[in-house]
Structure 1
Amino acid sequence: MLDRIVWNTASEAERARALSRPSDSAEAFETAQTIVDEVRRDGETAVRAWAEKLDRWAPASFRVPASELEAAAQALSEADREAILAAADAVRRFHAEQGYRAYEVETWPGGRAQRRVTPIDVAGLYVPAGTAPLVSTLIMLAIPAQLAGVPRIAVIAPPRKGEGVEPTVLAAAALLGVDEVYAIGGAHGVAALGFGVAGLPKADRIFGPGNAYVAAAKAILAQTAGGAAADLPAGPSEVLVIADDNADPDFVASDLLSQAEHDVLAQVVLIAFSEAFVDRVEAALDRQLADLPRAGTARAALANSRVLLVADEQEAADAANAYAAEHLIIQTRDPRALSERVRHAGSVFLGPWTPEAAGDYAAGPNHALPTAGAARAYGGVTVEMFQKTTTVLELSREAACSIAPVVERLAGLEGLDAHRIAMKLRRERAEAEQ
């Protein structure tokens, strides 16, 4: 079922192929570029045309009325309400420890250098709701934004074809105190939010995972003058499981399938130490797939997935670092010790009792994570991502005299005479007034 690659005998080219992600990014980027360009040029007209074409949903106002949010919350069962609030509480408690620290330092006698922390003005949150309404993503994005003190939080969510936003997403928004929700998604929704057209606010930064078109639109906007910044590269989901021969094959199979059911472009990778164990996992996969409602999606994703056979834990760590997974699950004799060898992963799950599914919903750490190897340079969404820092400098007359020789010398080294003179004039005036 899963392609098997022996890591220590594979060539560099074979390893690179084994670590590559399935993608339709080239076509997606071209389409997203067209959509972003049209929205920038034609504004609301383009947004409505794409919304009608892709969603069959282009109402007079894309904003969901507050009455619909409240009605959805009221219709929610008590058990579902309690689950959402319990998950939100865990996420809030974990993220409450985050946030930039403001401070002030005297770098020169009489020189005050300060860092000030402020939230962004408008956070745009993308909540996928296409093949599955991701209530959990709304929790993961809205709570850090609220903790950061963002004054305006705007949510966009793809509507069901011709029906509007999934009610559970609206209910979660109401429970979280988020009242600005728009029934629009895809690259056109991202573009509308990035440029502030079709009744949507102009976001300073757009957060949240999505399909290849959404990821491409976010990347394009981040490189466009006047466009919104992006949070991190977040495309189709992926998981890497490291399991030794003592791991439970049913647990391992369930972890692989929990990612494979997301999307046909999702990828699951198993690092194992023996062929016999892989055989047991594949048998477990067959058993579990038989009863899985989204088996078709999972099977398509498994076709893009593979097994890396390694000789020891160091090889396992080396392969994990090369892959840089969004989610890394370790089910070995000493998972914490092995995790210390892995430098590149979005989020790590240790031991047999820690499925990635717990992190997706209610454990506390954020599930909005970098994909496609971006974990080599990015982490998951944090409170800090909704904040920015500003430095403030104030020099007294004495500080200007103290720092001037260094500034003048360095400006001279760089050949920037106006810089040197700006400091020299102040030094001379300060010396004359002493």
Structure 2
Amino acid sequence: MIQIKRLSSIDTGFHMALEKLLAFEDANDAAVDTTVTGILADIKKRGDEALLEYTRRFDRLDVASVAELEFPQNQLKQVLQRLPADQRNALEQAAGRVRAYHEKQLAQSWSYTEPDGTLLGQKITPLNRAGLYVPGGKASYPSSVLMNAIPAKVAGVGELIMVVPTPCGETNDLVLAAAAICEVDRVFAIGGAQAIGALAYGTSTVPRVDKIVGPGNAYVATAKRRVFGVVGIDMVAGPSEILVICDGNTDPDWIAMDLFSQAEHDELAQAILLSPDAAFIDAVAASIERQLETMPRKAVIRASLEDRGALIQVRDLDEACAIANRIAPEHLELSVERPEEWVEKIRHAGAIFLGRYTSEALGDYCAGPNHVLPTSRTARFSSPLGVYDFQKRSSLIQVSEQGAAKLGAVASILAHGEGLQAHAMSAEYRFMNRTDRQDS
């Protein structure tokens, strides 16, 4: 029998129990950090030579040059052409929806002119080059290609470089086909911390990028932390999370499977149900017990639910929303009547799924919004990956002669107050005549 935690918000010690449940120590393993630090330094120093050595060691691919690890564009197109029709159609439909959604995010430059002729504004420009890390081998996710590459392309990124490990030469047609659909510019069969290093520092063959996005294992996550500042990164994601708020009127089998959908990612994933209906919670618990045995990844699901999952009875839906804001989940399902009313009470969540028919899985693949979301309660201050992550903003300031006098006087006072005379004089020179400057 599965031992999933049952909590009640009216119990003494509930808040302490909830904090314990949510606690996730994302500290780097010292051995992982040491290994990654060494790999990055080696890639930075020896480039292609080091990259080949690590690829031989970790992916067991023995090639003479990094150029041999690049997939030609015609090969990507051939893979797309030979996909079964249903898989190709699904990829293309998902890509179309993701593209249509992200086109709404595209920011435009703007400016305004004040009465004295001073112009202020903001110039939007895309990144020159972005790197996309995609897990490879047995853990292959074509959806990750779509969710990371499409917003970059919509933003107008000049060149998109994708890296995907192919241990023992094992490739995934869906991943390569997704790269073709997204028109990724270059794809390399490299992975791990060494791939992150190659993207961050550049080698003779792999170009240096401006930003690295995409999920990976502990070595990849640690490497992304290490190179941040040399390049930008999207985020360092923790385990997958789902929080379901249900009023008790949704099919309990649906809710149980929604919890499974995140629990099956890995043993550290977190799946939580909040409901005011005790009988419904019992029904979901029974469904979990019954359906678990049918799941191919039942061992992973069991470990996740027993270690980090919970079924929580709350006083009412208002309290459920308050607890949800405290949790700040990656995925939040509002499986309730009139979800459009309850969503107004939600302040912190990566993605919000409204209504009984909106399963979180649709967001993972094809609804349209991005599935790269803040985890580990970072939705309190972070947002989903989007087009804006691949655009930069530059301020525009063009001061007129009249504006220089008005603004210069203000700047002068403030600069003198800070003890920065050159700042003050730089502003004053624009509105004081030469005689005044000499007298002063």
The TM-score with structure 1 as length reference comes to 0.92
Query: 2:6 corresponds to which residue?
Result: 4
- Asked whether the equivalents of residues 80 and 176 of structure 2 are also in contact (C-alpha less than 8 Å), the reply is yes
Aligned pairs, number: 428
Distance 1:164 1:229, change over 3 A: same
Residue 345 of structure 1 corresponds to: 349
The match for 1:316 is: 320
SS in 1 for 2:271: strand
- Deviation (angstroms), 1:178: 1.8
Matched, 1:249 2:258: no
Corresponding position of 1:74 = 81
Distance (Å, rounded) in 1 between the aligned partners of 2:236 and 2:340: 27
- Counterparts in 2 of 1:252 and 1:135: CA distance versus 1, 3 Å: same
The corresponding residue for 1:277 is 280
Aligned residue runs from structure 1 range 368-407, under 5 A: 368-407=372-411
Matched, 1:263 2:269: no
Partner of 2:133: 126
Deviation at 1:394, TM superposition (A): 1.9
Aligned residue among 237, 240, 261 for 1:234? 237
- Does structure 1 retain, via aligned residues, the 8 Å contact 2:8–2:14? no
User: Which of these residues, 170, 178, 184, is aligned with residue 176 of structure 2?
Assistant: 170
In 1, Cα distance between the equivalents of 2:378 and 2:117? 43
Deviation at 1:64, TM superposition (A): 1.6
Matching residue's letter, 2:86: A
In the alignment, does 2:370 pair up with 1:366?
Answer: yes
Q: CA deviation at 1:198?
A: 6.2
Partners of 1:216 and 1:271 lie apart in 2 by 33
2:159 is aligned to: 152
Of 118, 122, 144, 1:111 maps to 118
Q: Which residue of 2 aligns with 1:298?
A: 301
Residue identity opposite 2:374 in structure 1: P
Residue 215 of structure 1 deviates from its aligned partner by 2.2
Contact 1:209 1:235 (C-alpha < 8 Å) held by counterparts: no
Distance of 2:435 and 2:249 partners within structure 1:
76
Q: Letter of the aligned partner of 2:7 in structure 1?
A: I
Separation of aligned partners in 2, 1:99 and 1:290: 45
CA RMSD of aligned residues (A): 2.2
For residue 357 of structure 1, what is the aligned residue in structure 2?
Answer: 361
In 1, Cα distance between the equivalents of 2:100 and 2:434?
51
The answer to whether the Cα contact below 8 Å between 1:325 and 1:372 also exists between their aligned partners in 2 is yes
Equivalent pair of 1:325/1:371 in contact (CA under 8 Å): yes
TM-score by length of 2: 0.91
How much does 1:130 deviate?
A: 4.8
User: 1:215 touches 1:235 (CA, 8 Å); kept in 2?
Assistant: no
Residues 301, 57 of structure 1: alpha-carbon distance in 2 compared, 3 angstrom cutoff: farther
**1:300-350, Cα deviation, whole Å (9 max, x unpaired):** 322332223321122211221111111111212332322221111000101
Structure 1 Cα separation of the partners of residues 374 and 113 of structure 2: 37
Q: Deviations over 1:143-178 (max 9, x none)?
A: 11111111100111222x202431211111112222
| C-alpha distance 57-294 of structure 1, shift in aligned 2 (>3 A) | farther
CA separation of 1:34 and 1:299: change in aligned 2, threshold 3 A: farther
Measure the CA separation in 2 of the matches of 1:13 and 1:47: 47
Partner of 1:288: 291
Say whether the 8 Å CA contact 1:404–1:423 is kept in structure 2.
yes
CA positional deviation for 1:261: 1.6
Distance 1:184 1:286, change over 3 A: farther
> Residue 94 of structure 1 aligns with which residue?
101
Given that 2:98 and 2:150 are in contact with CA atoms closer than 8 Å, whether structure 1 keeps it comes out as yes
2:47 — aligned with what? Answer: 43
The answer as to whether partners of 1:136 and 1:360 remain within 8 angstroms in 2 is: yes
Q: Is the 8 A contact 2:247 2:317 kept in 1?
A: no
Match of 2:206 in 1: 200
CA distance in 2 between partners of 1:49 and 1:247 (Å): 54
Q: Is the 8 A contact 2:275 2:316 kept in 1?
A: no
Aligned-pair distance for 1:275? 4.2
